[in-house]
Structure 1
Amino acid sequence: MRRLEGKSALITGGSRGIGRAIAEAYAREGARVAVNYVADERAALAAAGGEGVALRADVTDPVELRTLFAEAERALGGLDIVVANAHPGLGHGLLTELTEATIDQQLAVFKSYILSLQEAGRRVRDGGVIIAISSAATRLALPTTGLYASIKLAIEQLCRALSRELAPRGVRVVTLSPGLARTDRIAGVTLPQGAAAGDATSPFARPAEPEEVADAALFLASSEARWVNTSTLYVNGGSVYAQ
């Protein structure tokens, strides 16, 4: 069953980690996928599949981001699904020790999400889906993820507002909130005190595999989630309840 047959999707930050897993899942289910990347074109092309395209853009550059959306729309003949996933740099650190450079960089990331949601809202066809990737960190009081979690929480609220704006066109807007996943970023994440590197606070005693998060993103993009809107889907193995 190819649940996204005939659909076109853009995934920002889709050449690695969760973004890549989502791109691969969408392509496997029949979508034509535009995979945004910064450095690894080969990985982006592999994730996009035979019918997809790889598009280079630094999403923190407003000109490049807007060009990305225009190129994706043109290459795919329109957009039905947008996954705003790219979050360059995590901005981790104690709040009292964050440098202005880190703060400015993460504010640029936040701006990139705002612009991505703007572009998606303007371009996604009637009946489409916009998914923003949030984080279980929004539900945790961790001293080193305050800036990152605050940006993700603000993104969730933007999606709620956008869902109301786009509802007359039948466009759904949701957020997907994964917990810690086994990607190349996991080495840079500071776990809560007492949590072993393998359990990442989940009752299942392990981080998620990217494909497990991608399955949830596939559900949200499919007609099976046609009545899911304005909400956040938590995909974290129960970690947000283990604190």
Structure 2
Amino acid sequence: MRKLAGKVALVTGAGRGIGRGVAHRLAADGALVAVHYKEREEAARETVELITGEGGRAFAVAAPLGEPGDAEALYGRLDRGLEERGEAPRLDILVNNAGFNVPARVAEVTPRDFDALMAVHARAPLFLVQQGLPRLRDGGRIVNISSAATRVAFPESVVYSMAKAALEALTRALAKELGPRGITVNAVAPGFTKTDMNRKRWATREGEAAHAALSVFDRMGDPGDIADVVAFLASDDSRWVTGQCVDASGGSFL
């Protein structure tokens, strides 16, 4: 039997990149996956088709994040999507993956960009957990996608690093609070990964080589590398691991 058979997973920002890789892997392990997206409906549909084309189960859920009422709207649509598939409103796995970056050093940061990055990377996960707890079954899993930028100095994206650090602090606090229910809460910290985010950094052969050289394996990560770590944390195999941030950067900056 597949490890996540009978489980319901919600992956935010699952239309592309790491989110798509995570949704694909969780579905392959047997979960019914809600593929969240904000605006890119076509990308989310492609993720769903990738999963269902291999015999998995998935459906798309549209909702903004980082705005008032975002969690309530997302869960309302999740509940309707489950009902349409004959499932009760419930949740077993929440992966807070949605995110973006506005590269800027301290002298370049604007209040608008600060608020937007904090809203999506820190505020949204907090309230998605808060509003999701009535649905999240005992023994559930919460996985937050952080960044290796919290471990090393990354002045080129100072606010992004700050927001991800806040997410890691949230991870530890939730792990302690939700432990009595058997719910584990962990974070995964990717390094440079070949996705649309910051594509300009590695779009050229020289740029990719420079980023690959940061890893002890001399390559950039791909979404599957991160998805495999998330799948472990989403499974019962990780039952004795909580409050941790798992570095999935390929040994970058060692």
Q: Would you call these one fold, judging by a TM-score over 0.5? A: yes
Which residue number corresponds to residue 21 of structure 2? 21
Q: Which moved more, 1:40-49 or 1:101-110?
A: 40-49
Name the SS of the counterpart of 2:212 in structure 1: coil
Q: Deviations over 1:99-124 (max 9, x none)?
A: 22211212322221221232233431
Q: Which moved more, 1:126-135 or 1:90-99?
A: 90-99
Deviation at 1:132, TM superposition (A): 0.6
Within 5 Å, give how 1:49-128 maps onto structure 2. Answer: 49-50=51-52, 51-76=57-82, 77=88, 78-87=90-99, 89-109=100-120, 110-128=122-140
What is aligned with 2:235? 222
Cα offset, 1:203, TM superposition? 1.4
Q: Distance in 1 between matches of 2:201 and 2:104?
A: 10
TM-score (norm 2): 0.87
Question: Structure 2: where are the runs of 5+ without partners?
Answer: 83-87
**Alpha-carbon contact 1:139-1:240 (below 8 Å) kept:** no
Q: How many residues are aligned here? A: 237
**1:188 CA displacement:** 4.3
Q: TM-score, normalization: structure 1?
A: 0.90
The answer for unaligned runs of 5 or more in structure 1 is: none
Could you tell me how far apart the structure 1 residues matched to 2:210 and 2:238 are?
A: 34
Q: 1:55, 1:239 → 2: CA distance?
A: 34
Letter of the aligned partner of 1:214 in structure 2?
Answer: A
- 1: CA distance, partners of 2:191 / 2:154: 13
Instruction: Answer yes or no: is 1:138 the counterpart of 2:144.
Output: no
Partner of 1:172: 184
Q: Output the amino acid matched with 2:22.
A: I
Aligned-partner residue type, residue 127 of structure 1 = G
- State the partner residue of 2:32: 32
CA deviations on 1:11-69 (whole Å, 9 max, x unpaired) are: 01000000000001111111000010122323323423332210111112232332112
Say if 1:96 and 1:130 are closer, same or farther in 2 by CA, change over 3 A: same
Identity rate, percent: 41
